[in-house]
Chain A
């Protein structure tokens, strides 16, 4: 799956989910790994407080479905009191360099969903940086260095990309 930014220079971004091979036992969460790769140098931010429930950017929206029905997805955001975005949250990637956005904060949906019944479960993840205002990236608790952070936010390409479906057989 690729994403194309809306700015001058086209950037192709791949997001990929992987899981240990072979059938997965029912009754246990599936350990899903995430990797983001760009074809050019780019600035990204990993999963933050509020990214998963969509209350701040970047949005990382996971979903798990079975038989075409969503069986796990983040609930509506509880509240928007999310932690500050820091300069150190930005990661500059070289072309082709893989990035694990869950290194600092995992995705609770993947981590806590337990497939109880056998079947083919489909895992997907959508990464969305298309905020309508850069302030939608900021936190609401002790947010400092706003000019510096917003300057970096402006360098993150704007795109919305969904991973290819990761199919996990559960037995």
Chain B
């Protein structure tokens, strides 16, 4: 993989901002109105910025105490090419969590992609008259060469606009790494677009005045909406301009919603729906759930989870203060799940596990606890006790998650609900957050493979730009430009690594346009450098990434592949023969005479001899037939070069059976069949029977014409057939006919 370089080292962004910092600090710029917004985002009570008395070696005495400073808090983002950094500074304002965190985004060609994240827990804070400096060692999602993070934020009065934050990475020994200048973006740590639809007759919740019922003295009276509740946590919910009314018929004739109907409604009605990671969320105010629930985050079961939640009006409706208060809690609670917050007593079930609060989490005073389950360390528990003590907020650990957890653990559509672990960094295969590449990649495969069947996928690279695009044609995953990730049934994600990597430094430019809208490659990904990748029955998720000529990173949607359980004893036996390590290598190599692979050849021959009618026998025949069609050079231990001549009879016999089975739809995929028939024609031509070889190529064209392929693909096949026939004729003239065996 052409892995991106370390964004904490080298040149990523100009450090010139550091030099400018002092100068900019002197500028007096009128307020741009952000101060009020920051007050809102910082929580309930506006406090002055970090005070001078904050401990720090560079503290400057005598700071004017009557000056109101901007809070050292909020979101900043650098620009430019290479890497961009989205920084979150959280050491000031209400309920500061004393963290600095950030996400890296790499820009390449027309794409911007997430790269990785870090968090600094409890940085040292040094306050001077001019600036606030935060420093600490970060926890990174990748191996950072310069893991020490120093963030400098200029102090600005409330009459001035926010200054740029400067991030300097340092190695453990203090050597400077990369630096980033990050202009202020928002007082909120995250911003999410919330689209709220409702079904006919359901009345969405508006607001609750916390003084309507007794509340703890620590909780000031205020009018809370769902948006305000999240704003107090430092999270901006931007209500989208769309608000649809969903017909109740979408819930089926029983008017009750199940999870599948809710998901379908999201796909149908969520204006911003896409199966990608994005800061967008859909909330449906529905009538009732089949399970009688108050609410649900129903999107917990597919590739891009946590994009939708619902609340059920029939269960939560009411105009009393108690009902309004409970409604607010349910809305905030379900949206919390979409941010990947688990229930208070479930934090230890997260991957990786998180610590539980008091009493196994039941003592949490949080939106994410159940009121009836509330059980403090001392005193009475239950609903009344919860409301008597609940200050309408998340816990500190939940705030750290919402504000600072790694990008993929929070953003909707990324990591699965409650899950964050993977063998490889899955963000390498994230959809770009911005894509102007003009290219699209697709992985296709048949829906289900038999256990032991070689898993072959088809890669399709097409243009989405009507004007056409130039790129290279290195689409096969045995090149450095295309990579395939396989998520196994266990949830483990591995990178397919080819047994042999083909270097491809030639240009191989291909033009994709209306006349040639796509190129295709067939790739056997069942076995590679790490052995077999599909070793157990179950569902696999496969996605690919192609690095285009202009550097754009094109990522395919997920292709789901199911490996069936063996049904018969023969299925089991054939699978064992096919899934030996040497059999896998032979499938990758399409055969070999190597003595080191003798047992693999014996296994494949056993498949042919003992299970010749089994559906998987075509793969053994293909390997044997392709290998027989070509000569094999063997350098012996005595350095003697021996050449085994093509065995055309064996090749023709095996490949004919493969071609016939595949033409009936019982064998290999189309691209592989194309290869098999051309190899078959090659064997026939080598045998001296050019007429038969030409006939095989013509049959190939007819076979694909009968498969209802797209006209542009068929035209490519016809042109390829003509070229093959010409080449075979030429080779036959140059070569004396091989004696038929």
Contacts and interface: CB of A to CB of B under 8 A. Distances in A.
A79 B372 contact: no
B291 interface: yes
A75 to B, nearest CB: 6
B291 A80 contact: yes
Interface string B409-449: 00000000111000000000000000000000000000000
Contact of B292 (A77, A83, A112, A142): A77
Interface in A46-104: 49, 54-55, 74-81, 83-84
A114 B293 contact: no
Contact of B349 (A55, A79, A83, A109): A83
Contact of A74 (B295, B351, B372, B381): B372
B337 interface: yes
B300 A76 contact: no
Nearest to B418: A141
Interface stretch (B31-39, B340-348, B510-518): B340-348
B373 A81 contact: no
A142 B362 CA distance: 20
A117 to B, nearest CB: 15
B372 A142 contact: no
A49 B291 CA distance: 15
A140 B259 CA distance: 12
Interface in A139-171: 140-142, 144
A108 B293 contact: no
B382 A108 contact: yes
Contacts of A83: 346, 349
B380 interface: yes
Contact of A112 (B295, B297, B374): B374
Contact of A78 (B330, B417, B490): B330
B370 A78 contact: yes
A111 B330 CA distance: 23
A29 interface: yes
A111 B296 contact: no
Given A55-B293, A78-B333, A79-B294, A108 B375 contact: yes
Contacts of A111: 375, 381
Contacts of B375: 108, 111-112
Contact of B337 (A29, A74, A81, A109): A81
Interface bin, chain A: 20 to 34
B315 interface: yes
B624 to A, nearest CB: 36
Contacts of A80: 291, 293, 296
B675 to A, nearest CB: 38
Interface string B51-73: 00000000000000000000000
B382 A76 contact: no
Interface string B303-346: 00000000000010000000000000010011001000011011
A83 to B, nearest CB: 5
A79 B334 CA distance: 8
Contacts of B294: 76-79
B714 interface: no
B419 A142 contact: yes
Contact of B382 (A79, A84, A114, A144): A114
Contact of B293 (A79, A112, A141, A142): A79
B499 interface: no
B385 interface: yes
Contacts of B345: 49
A79 B419 contact: no
B380 A78 contact: no
Given A108-B381, A114-B382, A79 B295 contact: yes
Nearest to A29: B380
Most buried by B among A49, A81, A84, A109: A81
A54 B343 CA distance: 17
A141 B346 contact: yes
Contact of B372 (A49, A75, A140): A75
Contacts of B291: 55, 77, 80
B297 A79 contact: yes
Most buried by B among A75, A78, A81, A112: A78
A84 B349 contact: yes
A77 B343 CA distance: 13
A53 B381 CA distance: 17
A105 to B, nearest CB: 9
A114 B375 CA distance: 13
B380 A112 contact: yes
A70 to B, nearest CB: 14
Nearest to A73: B372
A73 to B, nearest CB: 10
B293 A113 contact: no
Contact of B380 (A114, A141, A142): A114
Interface in A107-140: 108-109, 111-114, 140
Contacts of B419: 142
Nearest to B289: A80
B379 to A, nearest CB: 10
Given A108-B372, A108-B373, A142-B351, A49 B346 contact: yes
Interface string B357-381: 0000010000000101111000011
Contacts of A77: 291-294
Nearest to B369: A78
Interface in B520-538: none
Given A81-B337, A112-B385, A142-B418, A76 B292 contact: yes
B349 A76 contact: no
20 contacts: A29-B380, A75-B383, A76-B315, A77-B292, A78-B330, A79-B295, A79-B296, A81-B300, A81-B343, A108-B370, A108-B372, A112-B372, A112-B375, A112-B385, A113-B382, A114-B382, A142-B349, A142-B418, A142-B419, A144-B490
Interface of A: 29, 49, 54-55, 74-81, 83-84, 108-109, 111-114, 140-142, 144
Given A79-B295, A142-B351, 6 more contacts: A55-B291, A77-B293, A78-B295, A114-B382, A140-B301, A142-B419
Closest 8 CB pairs of A and B: A112-B382, A112-B381, A141-B418, A108-B373, A79-B296, A77-B293, A79-B293, A78-B294
